[in-house]
């Protein structure tokens, strides 16, 4: 297991965890954006749970590699869905936000597969 993989995975887990907590706490900058994208507020617990599960899965992947692979794939799919949601809402200036969260998950997957 390389140092780069550990660092990127910890960063990805921290970012996904932060994002999950922001949704759970109903941070105005998150909930407001979701409303702009026409995402029902009733989805917030599910979205937060998916991100939290991804964060925990990345951390667990440091011990059980297949769990980390699956968590990274799940987070990548989640944030691709977020990009598509932003595009559907025609908020093109917001596209970089989910990409910032997608990047460490994709890097973690790439580094895990390269090992």
What is the C-alpha separation between 45 and 24, in angstroms, rounded?
6
pLDDT given for residue 43 in this prediction: 94
pLDDT given for residue 65 in this prediction: 94
Mean pLDDT by 10 residues, the chain (115 residues): 93 97 93 92 95 98 96 97 96 95 97 90
Residues ≥6 apart with Cβ < 8 Å to 4: 111
Q: Give residue limits of the domains in the chain.
A: 3-110
Q: Is the pTM of this model over 0.85?
A: yes
């Amino acid at each position: 297991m390389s140092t780069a993989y550990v660092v990127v995975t910890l960063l990805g887990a921290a970012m996904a965890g932060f994002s999950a907590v922001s949704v759970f706490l109903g941070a105005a900058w998150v909930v407001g954006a979701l409303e702009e994208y026409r995402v029902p507020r009733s989805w917030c617990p599910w979205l937060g749970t998916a991100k939290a599960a991804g964060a925990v899965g990345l951390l667990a992947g440091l011990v059980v590699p297949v769990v980390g692979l699956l968590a990274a794939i799940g987070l990548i799919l989640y944030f691709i869905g977020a990009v598509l949601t932003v595009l559907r809402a025609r908020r093109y200036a917001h596209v970089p936000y989910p990409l910032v969260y997608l990047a460490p998950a994709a890097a973690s997957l790439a580094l895990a597969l390269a090992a």
